[in-house]
Structure 1
Amino acid sequence: MKRVAGRLMRSPEGVAGLCLLVLLAAMALAAPLLFPGDPLAIVGRPMTAPFTDPALPLGTDRLGRDVAAGLMHGAQTSLLVGLATALVALTAGALVGTVAGLAGGLVDEALMRVVDAFQIVPGFLLALAFVSVAGASLPVIILAIALGAWTGPARLVRAEVLSIRERDYVSAARVIGMHPAEIALREVLPNALPPVLALTAVIVATAVLVEAALSFLGLGDPNVVTWGSMIAEGRNVLRIAPHLSIVPGLGLVATVLGVYLLGEGLADAMAGRKGRG
């Protein structure tokens, strides 16, 4: 782990991505301290221009809500959705892939057909349909995005398990009478996970963008502020106040770019490279 961290610190992509994500995480953690009130509350005159009121550094939107408060609290929502979706998708994919790879036969075939069925439908359309039926709330949105993201980890874990299950230490565990579930959790899964973790960056970035798109379409959680809903609100006055869409848009770009760069740096570090140059 120390070697991987050392290689990551020598990777320009990894360092840049880590700095961006640390900044965004600091924004998310500082949001309740700097803006303790409700970010959706009306706090001033509508359409206050940026840098004209010290109490409202980024101005207000059409309803008089603080843009800076929305930006800070929106970082919380985006990071929460991204990380929670990755956790759910990786957990579900790892379990399905492990069971399919170890069981083989009809169980493997049935589970892989389920994976194929989910992969046929684009992830965004699946999330859109699920949220439209189940209702717009943060847990539902996280589950909806995870429904389209777990298939990649499942296939990758299955491929790793098919290779690992034939190795000597797994055979030795069977010989000494270890329970199949114990073999899966203690011997197989820990060795199958490292390649799958490389997908985390892709899943997090995709989740952030899908959540923003759902909020932009009016299918986000109405009780929380999101960058997608801020962009949607700003599009109505894009010609006279473009900053209302540009500011949260930059937040989205920074988040996705940070996750991508950190993922590239981690991939290089785990492969033993100092960087791509």
Structure 2
Amino acid sequence: MTTVEEASYALSKIVDAGSQKSVIDLGWIKNVRITSPRSIITLALPSYANSQRDRIVKEVRKILLNFNDIDDVQIELDNSSPETNSSEVNTPQLQDIKDIKKIIAVSSGKGGVGKSTIAVNLACSLSKLGLRTGLLDADIYGPNTPSMLGVSEENPKVHGSGNEQRLIPIEKYGISIVSMGFLIEEGQPVIWRGPMLNSIIRQFLYQVEWNNLDFLVIDLPPGTGDAQISLAQSVPIAGAIIVTTPQKVSLQDSRRGLAMFKQLGVPLLGVVENMSVFIP
């Protein structure tokens, strides 16, 4: 009969795509149980590893079904994951990030106005001034900064295990970069509701080795939704920049964004009017 030790050893061959560490060592697979002919395991993925879920599940089933006395694999999801902790979502607390001095949020009322371009150029400019700079792509549904910086093929590494796991940012042009774009396949949609969005943003803030930054530039998604509220209620923001274009509809949405930051108590550093003129 297959033992728990044998099954766990076999499952330890499954590794995280970024860090190449075993999912057993990372604590992503736990509570391995064997009740012949059934095997039961618990899958506890952090939010930033959700893009690997299908692959890991497939490999788990393949490995366990290779044992002669196992013909059924049951996979349980760990319900204690941050996505389902309603108290964290409903009662967020403002908390400094030890390794970051100042946070600048770049936002826009609507998409397509060049918000990510402004965020990337701002981060590059701060880095050129000799300031230690990070760039957090919090546009979870449309992460573009990896492509803009030429690092879309990179896989961030993870060190530590359990609750001590930390994501290592990708470095380019002197900027420490973290983006959802590193954690999903190209073209893969992120179909998440508010609590999961809040959770991944908090993990990007608090479970990343930011390494003593002078500035963290955060590229927010367009609009006035969960991401903006979650950020403003999680960390002290030094100021926000709103990006717009001269068109009336863009300006209308920008005013809503400005009003949102004012209501959340976030200082406004300025408004950038992008694409102001056409140069043939």
Which structure has the higher relative contact order (CA within 8 Å, separation 6+)?
1
TM-score by length of 2: 0.23
> Which structure is higher in helix share?
1
